[in-house]
Amino acid sequence: MNVATPKSRLTKATTVAETGRPSRAEAEAAVRTLIRWAGDNPDREGLVGTPDRVVRSYEEFFAGYEVDPVGLLERTFEETDGYDEIVLLRDIRLESYCEHHIVPIIGRAHVAYLPHRRVVGISKLARVVEAYAKRMQIQEKMTAQIANTINDVLQPRGVAVVIEAQHQCMTTRGIHKPGVSMVTSRMLGVFRDDPMTRRELLAMIGRASAPIGE
């Protein structure tokens, strides 16, 4: 059923530049400029189609700006036979882009909530992760946005989001430290207030089994 949801601070209005969005041709011209800045010739055969491909790639990388995460969670189910234990979606592949360097952040997210009377389709939790990941991000903000949205819309007894990811701005440039992953978490409701519930969740998430990137 549909429920009333707080739309105000969660919609894309604050992130999409609704005025003055450049044209596709302007975006392609900007890529040509960057190619020349890097020291190559955008008119040579191998690069002539690159601005078009880069702009198309940007449409994929940043598709999250077109998605309303609140809308994804509005359909819920109440026939749960009183299910009141943790629901955990583990190892959600995460591909995001560092807002400081616009290079990939690759990792995985674990999203859990403790339902209060209603549940949501599990694929929707993964879609909320994607809606925020496919933007220019920092991991801390993304973690909080995912948890806050689920909390505000579903109003469950608790929400937990844990993200572990590698930042290519750290592994392929700058200090060049491959193998380092960053872990962030946002705990709300019972996951924040009740140590036993939090411990149960962390046991369910367990140790990372597969290397990040697979």
| Of positions 88, 98, 142, 163, contacts Zn ion by CB under 5 A | 98
99 is catalytic: yes
Nearest to 109 by CA among 83, 135, 144: 144
Contact by Cβ (8 Å): 96, 165: yes
At closest approach, how far in Å is the CB of 76 from Zn ion? 36
At closest approach, how far in Å is the CB of 158 from Zn ion? 31
Q: Which stretch binds Zn ion (CB under 5 A): 98-106, 109-117, 143-151, 156-164?
A: 98-106
At closest approach, how far in Å is the CB of 43 from Zn ion? 31
Query: Could you say which residues in the range 102-161 bind Zn ion, by CB under 5 A?
Result: none
74 is catalytic: no
Write down the catalytic residue from 74, 95, 101, 168: 101
At closest approach, how far in Å is the CB of 138 from Zn ion? 8
100 is catalytic: yes
For 122, the enclosing helix (H) or strand (E) is helix 122-133
| Of positions 112, 160, 165, 169, contacts Zn ion by CB under 5 A | 169
| Of positions 90, 101, 116, 192, contacts Zn ion by CB under 5 A | 101
Question: Does position 94 bind Zn ion by CB under 5 A?
Answer: no
User: Which residue shows structure tokens 């609140």?
Assistant: 70
Around Cβ 124, how many Cβ atoms within 10 Å?
20
Q: Catalytic site residues?
A: 98-101, 139, 167, 169
